[in-house]
Amino acid sequence: MEEDEPASSSSKTIPPWVELEYAHMRILAGPKAQVRFTHLSRSSCKSLEEALKPSSSPEDLAAFSCHSEGILECMKNAGLPIDKVCLLDPKAEAELSPDDGDGRFAWFLFGGILGDDPPRDRTSELRSLGFPTRHLGPTQMTTDTALGVTKIVVDDKVPLDKIPYVNYPSIVFNPKESVEMPFKYIADADGNPKLPPGMRELLHEDLNKGFEF
Ligand code: SAM
């Protein structure tokens, strides 16, 4: 996961909703995976490590590590050539398929957390570095969803079009309050979007904050 904040910035910390998405990535990736958060400022590295460590059942989660280095430096340290890293890119020509598992790639790379609506193609910064790319369909997903879908395709061998999704869901809090999310999500067994644990509560809190004077 390549963050889009500069590593030299020392004052930025990670907003709560981003922490929830990062924690969700560890759940979705599963215990056999490792999630690396790269290109973080030193202060973000520290606060993310603190936020993600106190998990109640770490055996169900992917291991994680935080890095101030960018992706290229991390690859160099791991001795990984560029053709072993797959950038998930909505503008890629090829769709991600189950054949992309089985060691074809060593790492899957996701762009910065910001999901602009409409998308501003910030993934282009990574695209320009020359990685092989794959798309997950034309609709923008949250980064944790993109990681979850990638895992289902390459590890569980489920083709992209067999995964249940929900597009632009409305999160309804009560008859008067709801919020529409401008993304595509994995659907759970009840057809609801798989949101990071705690996200629903945070969205409701933020909605109410918007009306405080
Ligand atoms: N706003 C950013 C942009 O316009 O490029 C995208 C942000 S998206 C929330 C974060 C990352 O998730 C992307 O950089 C990409 O790696 C991945 N992603 C999201 N939707 C995707 C899709 N439909 N296909 C491939 N990758 C996707």
Q: ipTM value, please give it.
A: 0.96
pTM above 0.90, yes or no: yes
Does residue 47 register a pLDDT over 70?
yes
- Give the closest residue (by CA) to ligand 1 atom 14: 111
156-173 b/e with 16+ CB inside 10 Å = b? eeeebeebebbeebebee
Task: Give the pLDDT band (50/70/90) at residue 120.
Answer: confident
Q: Is the CB of 182 under 6 A from ligand 1?
A: no
pLDDT at 42 over 70: yes
DSSP 78-136: HT--GGGEEEE-TT-SSBP-GGGTTTT-SEEE---S---SS---TTHHHHTTT--EEBS
Residue 189 has pLDDT above 90, yes or no: yes
* pLDDT score of 5: 56
User: Distance of CA 39 to CAs 3, 36, 52, 65, 159, Å?
Assistant: 5, 10, 17, 12, 31
Is 2 touching ligand 1 by the criterion CB < 6 Å?
Answer: no
- Specify whether the CB–CB gap between 166 and 187 falls below 8 A: yes
